[in-house]
Amino acid sequence: MSVRERVPSAPVRRPPRRLHFPRPLDAVASFKFKTAVVVGGALLTSSVSFWITAQLAFRYALLVALVVAFVVTWVLAHGMTSPLREMTGAVRRMSDGDYTTRVRATSKDEIGTLATAFNQMAEDLAHEDRYRREVVGNVAHELRTPVAALHAVLENLVDGVRTPDQDTLELALTQTDRLGRLITDLLDLSRVEGGAVRLDHDPIEVQRFAADAVAQCRLRLRQHSGRATDVGFSIDIPAALVVEADEDRLHQVLANLLDNAARHSPPGGVIHVLAHADGDSVVLEVADEGPGVEPAERQRIFERFTRGGSRDGGTGLGLAIAQWVVHLHRGEIAVVDDPRGCRIRIRLPANVTR
C-alpha cells in the first residue's frame, strides 16, 4: 500500500521556560477577586511600609510607600495580563500565516479560560491550514498526470505524429474521464465535509440495491477499461434484508467500494458483495481477491488522496467520501481481516429511529 506524502506540519512554538515569570494569583478562579487582591495588597503593603518608615521625613516615607505599592502591583498584575500580551503577539504572527504559537494557559480565571480557548482555536486554524496546503498540493499532483497525458495526445495529433484513430481517441477519453471523476469527487467531498449534505432516509431492499450497484459497476468497467469479462461478481444477500438510508449516498459508497475492488482484483478474480442482519444493524461487506491492505495502513486508506498500489484511474478520494457518508448515517466502515484479499465492512443502523 503506498500512501500520498503529507505536507510536514510546523512544530508548535511555546514560550521558552526561562521567560516564564511567576504568576502568584494563577490559582484564583475569579478575575474580579484577583483585581481586589491586587488593590488590597498594594494598599496593605504601602501602609505597612509607610508605618515602618514613619520616622523618616514625610516625603521619603511617602516615596517608599509608593514604590512598594508599585512593585507589589506589578508583580501581582503581571500574571493577570501576560496571557493577553501573549495572545496579542500570537495574533500578529497568525496574521502573517504562523499558527504555531501557543500561550501559557495556567490561570484558573476567565483569562485562563480565554487562553485555553485561544490555544484550541490556534490548533484548529493550524489544522485547517495544513489541510488546505495538503489539498492544494495533492490536487495539483492528481491533475498534472491526466492533463499531461491529454496534452501529449493532442500535441501528437496536431503535429501529425499520430492519427485520430480509435485507440488515440479512447486514450484521450480515458484522461478526460479521470479529470471528471476527480472534479466530481472533490465537489462531493467539499459538500460532505461542509455539512451541506441532507440525508433522505427511506427503506432500501439491500439485495436489489446491491444488484443495481453491481450492474452499474459492470457497465463502467466495460466502458472505461474493458475488464467486464475479467472480473466476476458474487452477491450473497438475504431477500428480506432492509435498511433505512439515503439510497443515493449509500449507492455512492458502494460504487466506490466496487470500483476500488475491481481495480485491485487480479484477472479472473471475483468480487463478493455480502450483507446480513446483526441485531439492530445491517452489515454490508465488499471483498476482493487482490493484494489486500497491510494492517498498519487500514486506517490511513480512508484519508484523502491515499491510494493503493493501483495507478489506473483512482483519485484517492473515494474511500474518504465513503467514510464521511457512512458516518453521516451513524455507521462504521473499516477494513477487516481476510486471507484472500481486501474486505471492507460497513455497519449501519437498520432503523434510523432506534
- pLDDT (tens digit per residue) in 335-348: 988 888 899 999 99
287, 271 contact by CB (below 8 A)? yes
Q: In whole angstroms, what is the distance from residue 215 CA to residue 283 CA?
A: 21
Question: What is the average pLDDT across 141-160?
Answer: 78
9, 88 contact by CB (below 8 A)? no
As a whole number of Å, the end-to-end CA separation of the chain is 38
Q: Give the pLDDT confidence of 241-280 residue by residue, as tens digits.
A: 999 998 888 888 898 899 888 888 888 889 999 999 998 9
Task: Indicate if the pLDDT at residue 161 is higher than 90.
Answer: no
Question: What is the average pLDDT across 220-231?
Answer: 64
How many other C-beta atoms lie within 10 A of the C-beta of residue 280?
Answer: 9
Q: In whole angstroms, what is the distance from residue 25 CA to residue 337 CA?
A: 56
Q: In whole angstroms, what is the distance from residue 350 CA to residue 259 CA?
A: 25
How many other C-beta atoms lie within 10 A of the C-beta of residue 82?
Answer: 21
Predicted local confidence at residue 5, as pLDDT: 40
Task: Indicate if the pLDDT at residue 85 is higher than 70.
Answer: yes
Confidence of residue 193 (pLDDT cuts 50, 70, 90): low
Task: Indicate if the pLDDT at residue 286 is higher than 90.
Answer: yes
> What does pLDDT average to over the chain?
77
Predicted local confidence at residue 18, as pLDDT: 44
Confidence of residue 16 (pLDDT cuts 50, 70, 90): very low
Task: Indicate if the pLDDT at residue 134 is higher than 60.
Answer: yes
Question: What is the average pLDDT across 47-70?
Answer: 76
* Cell numbers 443515493: residue: 248
183, 175 contact by CB (below 8 A)? no
Q: Which residue has the higher pLDDT, 298 or 305?
A: 298
Q: Which residue has the higher pLDDT, 54 or 19?
A: 54
Query: Listing from the earlier edge strand, what are the strands of the sheet with 343-349?
Result: 232-236, 270-278, 281-287, 343-349, 332-336
Lowest-confidence pick of 21-30, 31-40, 126-135: 21-30
Task: Indicate if the pLDDT at residue 42 is higher than 60.
Answer: yes
DSSP label of 329: T
